[in-house]
Structure 1
Amino acid sequence: MGRLSVNLAGVELANPVMPASGTAAYGQSMAQQLDLGALGAFVIKSTTAHAKEGNPRPTTAPTKAGWLNAIGLKNPGIDNVLAEKLRWLAQHYPNLPIVGSVAGATFDEYVAVAKRMASAPNVQLLEINISCPNVAHGGLAFGTDPQTVQRLTSAIVTAVNKPVFMKLTPNVTDIVPIAQATEAGGASGLTMINTLTGMGIDLKTRQPILANGTGGLSGKAIHPLAVRMIHAVRQQTKLPIIGVGGVFTPEDVLEFYLAGANAVQVGAATYGQPTACTDIITGLPAVMDQYGIGSLSQLITEVQG
């Protein structure tokens, strides 16, 4: 094992860095900016049973300390993803572990898409986006009720033969019971955190800056919140955690590790710096030297026991 290598639920990664779901679509554009093969893994855009057009524009806007986005799960649907997007990744990057992000509006859709996603040979992990509105229960996100989370996790885990990571929403009073519910449902790991619900208003038009009104806040502003939530969840579970939220530098990566993470995702940083993922990977060894860290696996053992 290399100095940066990590093991996520039995899947070996050469390094812990991957793009956050939705920030690099299905890889074709990012591949023009950097070598996808240098990434620890690649997380595809959240995919649903059928194509979705997403929300009306504008769907993204900068804020004082991050980005607001309300893309609305725009994606071409699982049929297209299997036939084209994942096939392209397999042809051009056959050794790159792919994390298949799954979304849905009902239990049945989640399970059906997860089964189809798991059938792709290059998809080694599933990431379940449970920040989606539950259309059967008034639009509240699936991920806000522990009982619902446990049932959904169990249904997906039973239906697939690959590790299932549940992506937790921070838009709850206490994230720990949600994490515990995923573990009780048989999840192999956690991704945390998703964006926080926010809003911006244009002083000239007096209207929200996003057509959707509210959107998910990402970027540097949410990093301390992610650190706090990862730390809290780590006290209660041994499941591997993929940390996400305001990762811009190697130092941010190591801070997540000290909170209890096993790998990281990079999102908003790529908007202004397309090579942020590989820049962080390249810079990690020197920063690890600075803080006397021999390897990430050793750091995990030190922090998590």
Structure 2
Amino acid sequence: MTDTSLNVTLGRLRLRNPILTASGTFGYAREMAPFVDFKELGGIIPKTVTREARIGNPPPRTIETASGMLNSIGLDNDGLDVFIQKHIPYLQELDTAVIANIAGRSVEDYQTMAAKLAPFEKLAGLELNISCPNVSGGVDYGTNPESTEEVVRAVRNACDHPIIAKLTPNITNIVPIADAAKRGGADAVSLINTLQGMAINWRTRKPILGNIMGGLSGPAIKPVALRIVHQVKRAVDIPIIGVGGISSIDDVMEFLVTGASAVQVGTATFFNPSVSGTLTQQLRSVMQEQGIERLEDFIGTLRIDQQPRSPVMESTNIAKN
């Protein structure tokens, strides 16, 4: 099994393998060096960076839930200038692709940040966080097709890096948003960011999180993420990165066969810091066992034996039963 057989292409972005780390779960990579051999990874996506420093949301910021966790970090970070001065020099020397993740309050924010990152040619791409449910206005650009297209196009005009739009599941229909990201010039979309949720202490009759609501991640959201990957794959011609509840090689293969060209490992890193590197090794073994010579030939090969029924038909059948 040659490493070239693991290569995947997402628009202008080419990765040595499909295993990426999800933003917000891997720090700025330096913290994870004792646990992961970076050259085993397809790429690293560091913590989200904003134009100005943010102190984040009030504590408590995280809580474990059934099959997952809620977080309300609130994009706590030191701002773009500190990221450029302190973290990029280290990240650019790593033997893997590094995709910066940026978030803004306005189109101008995104455009300005992209322009500042444009000179760093060793960056493999930019992931646009237009879907964070834990900050005021965090999902605004990811819930309206026109806004999505506008912000993606502004970033595309500001730099030459490949662009990934990270989209929110907290919307009725994500397909028009993915299509708008494509029209704006995105090379790929990340599906999905966290689902909005909350936790309650009934004894005190108060919310547990300091920000009341947070983003649900982990195995609990994998079925939702798979459904959304499937829907976008069928409707929009754009490469997909699957995100949500990936902790085993079976999870990886499920996303790939459904139509994702790559995956991001997130919450699993908190309880198993070396999981992303392990998954790459397991992927090689599974490909050999299954006789898969090129991973790209396996992606999107999900078999649908019957046409999905319309919502009207589903409702009628439920009513009859």
Normalising to structure 1: TM-score of the pair? 0.93
**Residues 251, 287 of structure 1: 8 Å contact kept:** no
Name the counterpart of 1:217.
216
How far the C-alpha of 1:303 sits from its partner, in A, is 5.9
Structure 1 position 77, deviation (Å): 0.8
Q: Which residue of 2 aligns with 1:10?
A: 12
> Would the aligned equivalents of 2:132 and 2:168 in 1 still touch at CA under 8 Å?
no
Please report how far the alpha carbon of residue 122 of structure 1 lies from its aligned counterpart in structure 2 after TM superposition: 2.1
Aligned residue pair count: 301
Q: More displaced, 209-218 or 233-242? A: 233-242
Q: Within 2, Cα distance between the matches of 1:129 and 1:98?
A: 15
Is 1:299 aligned to 2:298, yes or no?
A: yes
Partner of 2:306: none
Local SS of the residue matching 1:123: coil
SS at match of 2:55: coil
Q: How much has 1:241 moved relative to structure 2?
A: 0.8
Q: Structure 2: state its 5+ residue gaps.
A: 304-321
Cα displacement (A) at 1:249: 0.8
CA contact (8 A) 2:170 2:196 kept: yes
1:106 positional shift: 1.0
Tell me: CA distance 1:220–1:176, structure 2 relative to 1, closer, same or farther (3 Å): same
In structure 1, C-alpha distance between the alignment counterparts of 2:82 and 2:75, rounded to whole Å: 15
Instruction: Work out whether residues 101 and 127 of structure 1, in 8 Å CA contact, stay in contact via their aligned partners in 2.
Output: yes
Return the index of the structure with the highest Cα Rg: 2
Give the partner amino acid of 2:173.
Answer: D
Cα 1:98–1:258, aligned 2, differ >3 Å: closer, same or farther? same
The 2-side partners of 1:260 and 1:138 are apart by 30
Query: Which residue of 1 is the match for residue 181 of structure 2?
Result: 182
Structure 2 match to 1:117: 117
Counterpart residue type for residue 61 of structure 1: I
Q: Distance in 1 between matches of 2:57 and 2:293?
A: 46
The answer to whether the 8 A contact 2:259-2:301 is kept is: no
- SS of the residue corresponding to residue 33 of structure 2 reads helix
> For residues 114 and 303 of structure 1, what CA distance do their matches in structure 2 show?
36
Secondary structure of 1:7's counterpart equals strand
- Within a 5 Å distance, the mapping from 1:26-37 to structure 2 comes to 26-37=28-39
Aligned partner of residue 164 in structure 2, secondary structure: strand
- Which residue of 1 is the match for residue 26 of structure 2? 24
Q: In 1, Cα distance between the equivalents of 2:19 and 2:127? A: 15
Alpha-carbon distance in structure 1 between the residues aligned to 2:79 and 2:140: 20
Q: Deviations over 1:78-101 (max 9, x none)?
A: 11111110111223x1x3211010
Aligned AA for 1:184? Answer: R
User: What is aligned with 1:201?
Assistant: 200
Structure 2: which amino acid aligns with 1:148? S
Say whether residues 1:267 and 2:269 are aligned partners: no
- For 1:139 and 1:249, locate their aligned partners in 2 and report how far apart those are by CA, in whole Å: 30
Q: Equivalent residue of 2:87, what SS? A: helix
Distance in 1, matches of 2:229 and 2:301, equals: 16
- Give the share of equivalent positions with the same residue, in percent: 41
Cα distance, 1:139 vs structure 2: 7.0
Equivalences for residues 13-162 of structure 1 within 5 A:
13-91=15-93, 93=94, 95-132=95-132, 141-162=140-161
Task: Tell me the equivalent position of 1:230.
Answer: 229
| 2:124 alignment partner, SS class | strand
Q: Cα offset for 1:199? A: 0.6
